[in-house]
Structure 1
């Protein structure tokens, strides 16, 4: 009996030590996150105040050009388009890029980051910039789902949709993503992990000569802003990455021109989703890039950009 008591006490002591170590690690991790200052806002270009906070945005190209709005995905902010913007500008387009709330140089409001939140974000940004006319919208990953939801809600404001490896028909979370999507727990895991997993992937792309050398540092800097783990966790928990069928159906009913560009080696948003998507959007035109993964927007821009331009110049 004494041995059992000692063993239980030892186990309890180990648990307490483990919890203490975790608490210390979390405290140290939180110290690495910095408040979002005016200086940081200004470093991202222009900003505009919306209902939920300030959004960072940039204009590129001739003022008289037709407007194309580029909407980034879940984690990598507007600099993900840095290899795409020059080709669109060369083609004469006026290009708008912006950082989602919770990313880049935009505010990190403590809101519920769900479907309606991102629709409101885009609508208010366009309203604030005086863009009331139908627009050509290009969205990558979650951004593809964002512009689809926006067009479903405001079909009169979408002239054309071009989606790159879009979300909306993913399988339910498993493994690590399932844990990251849990409230509180997921936020703490993201805080502990920081940008390391993302930066490692970006560094590989740098080493292969696919993106500029400063990209990993750009990403790490914006990730270390207070509120970023919360925003990512709230998005994972509340955004319907795997169930936007109704929005895609609405867009299908509206007959808005709809092009999808997808890599056949995408493991994040598998191209299998194109089958279900086609059932909802009959006018969908699918362009497949052989051997391309989910990061093809910025690592294989020379292959992706001609397809984006081909779609945009179709009307």
Structure 2
């Protein structure tokens, strides 16, 4: 009996230590506030901020006011800076471009809510409405942002003019992500709070190696982790966001005559290319470009090539509505697409 009591006391003490350390880790970083955001703007590290019902959102809106609107939606962990190389070329081509940080990422608020499809959908609706952007927009979604764009199109078909999906989640992701220890209740929360900086920085450092400017990419990525709540948001998203199982939304969006462009690296290990077959069955009007030796980094490592594809897709949409899928091979970033 004494042994059992001793074991119980040790267990209770261990759990108390974990609880206190979890709380302390959560309070160790500052919360994003108006003063911090103002300082970041003065340093040229932030664009604009807007108060929405679920929290403050960091966004960038550039280009002619009367230009067709293009909305970029980023993925799970890397915020909207991943689209920086797209903004100027599209605005110079006459488009109005909107990028934003999803809740919990970048310089947007980290509300204590469930990070699911409903939260992201509300953000997009509220952001467009508050900015007075009522006209249907072209959506470009990367990774989880692809799933978010499809779900938005399925729920608000009148607000989406076209879809460009870059390595889109929603139909399946790597088991290493969905079955990671971060997805497990309690222990996942504790690990994310205690070791999240090291874990996420390490993953980003691998991604940064293929970025045009690796040092800047990593600095921009790490900045979001200086503030309270990033790790909690990632954990909640892994558990609650439909990174797979979104077939109904893809099918709903796929029944629309709107043009759909899909760009995917066949060597993608995060959102495996094998899911492209299912996507094309659900969105039969989509046009698919795939690249045998490119991976999930395609959105930023091959930005010049993707910009050309997207600009061609947007400018020629009148002739794209009935396009069928095609597969093309890897080629230099500035080469013209060639079907094979």
Same fold, TM-score > 0.5, yes or no? yes
1:38 aligns with 2:34: yes
Match of 1:279 among 274, 278, 281: 281
- Matched-pair contact (CA < 8 Å) for 2:174–2:272: no
Contact persistence 1:57–1:98 (CA under 8 A): yes
Q: CA–CA distance in 1 between the matches of 2:204 and 2:238?
A: 21
Contact in 1 for aligned 2:26/2:229 (Cα 8 Å): no
| Deviation of the 1:191 alpha carbon | 1.6
Q: Aligned residue for 1:198? A: 200
Alignment of 1:19-38 (within 5 A): 26=22, 29-30=25-26, 32-38=28-34
The correspondence for 1:159, drawn from 158, 161, 178, is 161
Question: 2:254 — aligned with what?
Answer: 252
User: Which residue in the other structure is 1:48 paired with?
Assistant: 50
> Do 2:165 and 2:262's aligned partners in 1 also have CA atoms closer than 8 Å?
yes
CA distance 1:179–1:246, shift in 2 (3 Å): same
Distance in 1 (alpha carbons) for counterparts of 2:125 and 2:260: 19
Q: Deviations over 1:165-202 (max 9, x none)?
A: 00111158457843212333322222222233333344
Match of 2:332 in 1: none
Q: Pick from 154, 179, 182: which aligns with 1:180?
A: 182
User: Which shifted more, 30-39 or 46-55?
Assistant: 30-39
Task: Give the number of aligned pairs.
Answer: 311
**3-state SS of the aligned residue for 1:231?**
helix
TM-score (norm 2): 0.82
Gaps of 5+ in 1: none
Query: What is the CA–CA distance in structure 1 between the aligned matches of 2:252 and 2:102, rounded to whole Å?
Result: 24
Counterpart of 1:254 in 2: which secondary structure? Answer: coil
**Mapping for residues 1-315 of structure 1, pairs under 5 Å:** 26=22, 29-30=25-26, 32-42=28-38, 44-170=46-172, 173-174=175-176, 177-204=179-206, 206=208, 210-315=212-317
Pair 1:211–1:9, CA change in 2 (3 A): farther
Greater relative CO, 1 or 2 (CA 8 Å, sep 6+): 1
Change (3 A) 1:22 1:81: same
CA-based RMSD of the aligned residues comes to 2.7
C-alpha spacing 1:184/1:33, structure 2 compared with 1 (3 Å): farther
